[in-house]
Amino acid sequence: MATEGGKEERGFTVIDRRAGSGEAEDAPAETGADAPTDALPAVDLSSFALSLAASALYHLGVVGDPEQGEKAPEPNLPLARQTIDTLAMLQEKTRGNLDEEETRLLDSLLYELRMRFVEAGKSGS
């Protein structure tokens, strides 16, 4: 990154101390609320799908927000349907590119969420 006077500024040096890694990489440092924590899982297809499923369950009124100590809210079926449709789109667009475990996960999440959506629709009628 060039600055005034033609000097080049370099960001922070991040040293990866995980097993098997001994190299340093240049990367921007994150601070404040945007900084990652060690408690968060790695972002991969499975964790993304599970996150969407948790959101769908929330909108279906099955689970509350445990961080806020909230009980399950009233179902919001349009938002639940949109989240389920997002998972279905993800499944369709990644077909043939997933490993067996990822395929099973998406299949089972979609089956469970669709069944719960039907039940929520029946009880809301």
Q: What pLDDT, on a 0 to 100 scale, did the predictor assign at position 14? A: 58
Q: What pLDDT, on a 0 to 100 scale, did the predictor assign at position 25? A: 47
Residues across the chain: 125
- With tokens 């789109």, the residue in question is 89
Q: What pLDDT, on a 0 to 100 scale, did the predictor assign at position 121? A: 87
Q: CA 74, 80, 82: angle at the middle one, nearest 5?
A: 145
Mapped onto helix, strand or coil, the DSSP state of residue 26 is strand
Provide the CB-side half-sphere exposure for 71 (13 A, CA): 1
The alpha carbon dihedral of 124, 79, 53, 40 has a sign of negative
Amino acid at 34: D
Low-confidence residues of the chain: pLDDT under 70: 1-38, 66, 124-125
Q: What pLDDT, on a 0 to 100 scale, did the predictor assign at position 68? A: 76
Q: What pLDDT, on a 0 to 100 scale, did the predictor assign at position 15? A: 62
Q: What pLDDT, on a 0 to 100 scale, did the predictor assign at position 90? A: 96
The ranges assigned to domains in the chain are 4-31, 45-124
- Note the Cα 1 to chain centre separation in Å: 32
Q: What pLDDT, on a 0 to 100 scale, did the predictor assign at position 31? A: 53
